[in-house]
């Protein structure tokens, strides 16, 4: 029964990720509702109409609607689409890269059959996860005494399902057509992240509204389904898009050569393939990328850092300044009138000032997120990655100590954290200078320093988990989960007195807690973050030294 095998195996491969996502989002919903219950929501009704529609809050906003919107509309949707994306990109391209596709297709089943089994598993997983997300909503609301009967919860979850399927199939289709898992993951992530943020801030600009309609994310919550119910037209577009992607996947997968475990040719390889350039590069770099563990590690992650840095520099740094300058005066005035609590809810920046704008848009989520992405991937890949690929065996047969291996993995992680922090600083500085927003360059540097440090804390956590367990999944899920939890804890803490007292517990409170973009460097905060990172890195050395190396991935 190949169907049962391919289907069930594909569906069960990632159950842990789904379970973690569902449990986390449900917990976030519980925390969110509990927090919003404490604040006076009458402030919303006094908000200008334009602003309310902008942040997706209807006229008759209530605690339940706000919590569900924030938790499902952002966290839940990103988590779901992200998992769908991961599953979609491994479906075809991932099996090719692992070299397991050959044996799968040695069975008397067609490529189309395998692809449809994989798609079926993907859609079923998303459907099950959606239902699992939906079920706890009512008990959570009931247990907190929050009224949600007037909300179109089912409409939102249906939109969530369609959105996740779309991004899952996008990744699956790119993987099926190209056989390149990196491309499938990278392109889909880029489209997802850009469209998520595009839908968020393009409406702030004149004519931006029209542009959002080309972004897939618009069809997820552009119609505010939790208030307005199902938008069948939007669902049809997402569904139709998914079907087209599936067709493209079937055609593309059937027509091309299967890839073995081949690694393909990178741009670097093509450059090295040219004898003149190769000699030049050889003279410049020697055989740098294999001359030591730390240089090889640097080389392994250079494209990740390059892409992340470029995005931070251009989109989140340079472009944000002119974008701020282009927001109409009236909209800015609206921001000025916002109650403090509401501002805190969106990350704590006062949008009427450029500092507030950059705090919210760039430094609030994306900037630490970018450092966390790079450091967590490197921290998790550093030791656990070599173990799961079994390359650690030869490394450990060399006359170098385990401590030195950890050290040579830590150095590139720290270096790249600094690189991402620095390009963010450079991007924001340039972005603020183009329209001359009058921001303090020193304060930007201070904020970027704290950003680097807070990112390093979670990268170091990933490293410690990686060193202690040898499992990349635990390192990645554990550290990203912790980062999301503390980030949410931090933003909700500002709204909830009970949580506020515990604010010192979250690393993020040492990041923007003292508003470095306005107040400059807080060395105490920096010291706390640095100490946390040092402790976790120190722990990594101890844990890796003591442990049995795993033989299998």
Partner 1 sequence: MSMSMDSEARSAINTVGLTKYYGKHLGIEDVNLDVREGEVFGFLGPNGAGKSTTIRTILDEIRPTAGSATILGLDTHADAVEIRRHIGYIPGDLALYPNLTGMDTLQYFANMRGGVDWDFVDELADRLDSDLSRKVGDLSTGNRQKVGVIQAFMHRPDLLIMDEPTSGLDPLIQREFQKMVSEVAAEGRTVFLSSHTLSEVQRVADRVGIIRNGRLITVESVSDLRSKSMREVEFVLDAEAEVSVFESVEGVRNVVVAGNHVEMSFGGDMGELLTTVTERYGVADIKTTEADLEEIFLTYYHEDEGEGARS
Is the CB of 100 or the CB of 262 nearer to partner 1? Answer: 262
Report whether 163 contacts 242 (CB < 8 A). no
- Chain contacts with partner 1 (rule: CB under 8 A): 260-263, 266, 287, 289-293, 296, 389-391, 393-401, 548-549, 551
C-alpha–C-alpha distance, residues 113 and 352, integer Å: 56
Compute the least distance from the CB of residue 261 to partner 1, in Å.
Answer: 6
* Alpha carbon distance 318, 341 (integer Å): 29
Structure tokens at 424: 């963010």
CB of 64 to partner 1, least distance (A): 47
What number of CA atoms fall less than 13 Å from residue 96's CA on the CB side? 26
Closer of 9 and 389 to partner 1 (Cβ): 389
Of 266 and 337, which has the nearer Cβ to partner 1? 266
HSE value, Cβ hemisphere, 13 Å, CA-based, for 202: 18
CB burial of 30-69 (b: ≥16 within 10 Å; e: otherwise) equals bbbbbbbeebebeebeebeeebbebbbbbeebbbbbbbbb
Q: Between 228 and 261, whose beta carbon lies closer to partner 1?
A: 261
- CB of residue 300 to partner 1, shortest distance in Å: 8
State in angstroms the smallest separation of the CB of 383 from partner 1.
13
Helix 523-546 × helix 441-469 angle, to 10°:
20
Q: Which two tokens stand for residue 283?
A: 């003279």
Q: Which of 266, 326 has the CB closer to partner 1?
A: 266
- CB atoms closer than 10 angstroms to residue 247: 11
Q: How far is the CB of 416 from partner 1 (least distance, A)?
A: 18
Nearer to partner 1, 299 or 341 (CB): 299
**Nearer to partner 1 (CB atom), residue 228 or residue 291:** 291
C-alpha 469/C-alpha 502 separation (Å) is 29
Cα separation, 232 vs 276, whole angstroms: 59
Q: Give the closest residue to 174 by CA, choosing from 254, 265, 249, 241.
A: 249
Report the distance separating Cα 438 and Cα 23, nearest Å.
Answer: 44
Name the residue nearer to partner 1 (CB basis): 52 or 296: 296
User: How many other C-beta atoms can be found within 10 angstroms of the C-beta atom of residue 253?
Assistant: 23
Q: What is the DSSP string of 118-140?
A: HHHHHHHHHHHHHHHHHTTHHHH
Could you tell me which of 404, 399, 364 has the C-alpha nearest to residue 383?
404
Measured from the CB atom, the residue of 135 and 268 that comes closer to partner 1 is 268
Q: Output the smallest distance, CB 249 to partner 1, in A.
A: 25
Comparison of 271 and 290: residue with beta carbon closer to partner 1: 290
**Min CB(74)–partner 1 separation in Å:** 36
Least distance to partner 1, CB of residue 263, Å: 4
| Shortest separation between residue 89's beta carbon and partner 1, angstroms | 18
Q: Is 371 exposed, middle or buried (0-12, 13-18, 19+ CB in 10 A)?
A: buried
Identity of the residue, 333 or 390, whose beta carbon is nearer to partner 1 in the bound complex: 390
Q: How far is the CB of 397 from partner 1 (least distance, A)?
A: 4
What sign does the CA torsion over 298, 299, 305, 309 have?
Answer: positive
Q: Give the nearest distance from C-beta 311 to partner 1 in angstroms.
A: 24
- The owner of tokens 């923007």 is 512
Cβ neighbourhood burial of 207 (10 Å; 0-12, 13-18, 19+)? exposed
């Amino acid at each position: 029964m190949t169907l049962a095998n391919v289907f069930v195996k594909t569906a069960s491969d990632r159950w842990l990720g789904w379970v973690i996502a569902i449990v986390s989002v449900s917990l976030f919903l519980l925390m969110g509702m509990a927090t919003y219950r404490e604040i006076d929501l009458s402030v919303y009704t006094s908000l200008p109409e334009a602003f309310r529609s902008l942040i997706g809050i209807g006229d008759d906003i209530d605690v339940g609607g706000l919590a569900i919107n924030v938790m499902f509309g952002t966290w839940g949707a990103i988590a779901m689409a992200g998992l769908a994306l991961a599953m979609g990109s491994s479906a075809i391209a991932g099996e090719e890269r692992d070299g397991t596709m050959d044996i799968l297709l040695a069975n008397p089943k067609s490529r189309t059959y395998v692809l449809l089994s994989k798609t079926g598993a993907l859609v079923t997983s998303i459907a099950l996860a959606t239902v699992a997300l939906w079920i706890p909503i009512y008990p959570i609301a009931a247990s907190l005494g929050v009224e949600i009967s007037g909300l179109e919860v089912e409409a939102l979850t249906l939109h969530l399902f369609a959105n996740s399927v779309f991004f899952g199939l996008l990744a699956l289709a790119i993987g099926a057509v190209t056989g390149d898992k990196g491309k499938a993951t990278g392109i889909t992530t880029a489209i997802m992240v850009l469209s998520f943020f595009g839908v968020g801030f393009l409406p702030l600009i004149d004519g931006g509204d029209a542009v959002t309609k080309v972004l897939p994310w618009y069809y997820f919550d552009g119609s505010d389904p939790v208030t307005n119910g199902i938008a069948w037209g939007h669902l049809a577009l997402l569904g139709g898009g998914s079907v087209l992607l599936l067709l493209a996947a079937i055609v593309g997968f059937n027509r091309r050569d299967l890839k073995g475990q081949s690694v393909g040719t990178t741009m670097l390889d093509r450059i090295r393939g040219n004898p003149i350039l190769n000699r030049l590069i050889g003279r410049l770099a020697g055989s740098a990328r294999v001359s030591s563990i730390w240089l090889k590690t640097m080389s392994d992650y250079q494209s990740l850092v390059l892409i992340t840095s470029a995005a931070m520099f251009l989109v989140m740094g340079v472009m944000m300044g002119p974008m701020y300058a282009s927001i109409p005066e009236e909209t800015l005035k609206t921001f000025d009138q916002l109650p403090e609590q509401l501002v805190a809810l969106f990350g704590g920046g006062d949008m009427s000032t450029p500092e507030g704008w950059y705090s919210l848009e760039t430094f609030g989520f994306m900037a630490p997120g970018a450092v966390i992405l790079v450091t967590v991937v490197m921290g998790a890949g550093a030791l656990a990655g070599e173990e799961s690929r079994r390359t650690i065996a030869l490394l450990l047969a060399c006359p170098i100590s385990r401590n030195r291996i950890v050290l040579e993995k830590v150095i590139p992680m720290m270096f790249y954290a600094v690189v991402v922090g620095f390009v963010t600083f450079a991007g924001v500085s340039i972005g603020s200078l183009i329209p001359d927003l009058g921001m303090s360059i020193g304060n930007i540097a201070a904020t970027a320093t704290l950003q680097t440090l807070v990112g390093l804390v979670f990268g170091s956590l990933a490293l410690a988990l990686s060193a202690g367990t040898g499992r990349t999944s635990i390192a990645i899920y554990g550290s990203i989960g912790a980062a999301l939890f503390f980030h949410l804890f931090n933003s909700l803490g500002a709204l909830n007195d009970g949580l506020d007292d515990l604010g010192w517990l979250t690393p993020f409170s040492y990041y923007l807690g003292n508003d470095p973009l306005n107040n400059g460097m807080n060395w105490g905060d920096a010291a706390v973050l640095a100490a946390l990172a040092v402790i976790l890195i120190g722990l990594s050395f101890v844990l890796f030294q003591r442990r049995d190396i795993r033989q299998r991935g």
